[in-house]
Each structure stands twice: as structure tokens, then as C-alpha cells.
């Protein structure tokens, strides 16, 4: 049972990192510089990082919930 918690934790960490990285990569296609004030590079980078974390974590949580639900679905038939 403790091994299961370790495996779930590892899958969760990897999932969050992968989806945050994918979000960061996808956000690079958006030109937010035109919406931000000039010479505010640090704030723009921080905004990109926070958006990537927010979007990536949300997608990862959805993925992990879906994975958990799909594993619990066979329990309906018991």
C-alpha cells in the first residue's frame, strides 16, 4: 500500500512537470509582449511562468483525475 502512494506521487510529479512544460511551450506562440508595457521584461517572464504553472497544473489535475476515475470504474461491477 505504501508503494502505491509512492507510485502515485511519482506519476503526479511527472505529470505536473510534463504539462507545465507543454503549457510553457504552447504559451511561446502567443505574443503577450504587445499587451504588456514596454521595458517590463521581468514582469512579462513572471506572467509567462505563472500562466504555464496554472494551465499545466489544471490540465495535469484533469489528467490525474481521469486516470483515477478510469481505475475506479471496474469497481462498479463488484
pLDDT at 3: 67
- Nearest one of 53, 20, 25, 47 to 35, comparing CA atoms: 47
For 72, the domain range is 2-77
Q: % helix / strand / coil in the chain, to the nearest 5?
A: 85, 0, 15
Reported pTM? 0.83
CA-CA distance, 54 to 48, in Å (whole number)?
Answer: 10
**b/e burial code for range 34-56 (CB count within 10 A of at least 16 → b):** eeeeeeeeeeeeeebeebbeebb
Overall domain count for the chain = 1
Q: Tens digits of per-residue pLDDT, 20-39?
A: 999 999 999 988 777 778 88
Amino acid at each position: 500500500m505504501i508503494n502505491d502512494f509512492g507510485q502515485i506521487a511519482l506519476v503526479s510529479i511527472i505529470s505536473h512537470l510534463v504539462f507545465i512544460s507543454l503549457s510553457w511551450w504552447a504559451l511561446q506562440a502567443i505574443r503577450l509582449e504587445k499587451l504588456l508595457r514596454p521595458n517590463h521584461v521581468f514582469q512579462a517572464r513572471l506572467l509567462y511562468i505563472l500562466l504555464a504553472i496554472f494551465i499545466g497544473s489544471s490540465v495535469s489535475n484533469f489528467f490525474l483525475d481521469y486516470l483515477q476515475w478510469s481505475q475506479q470504474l471496474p469497481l462498479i461491477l463488484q
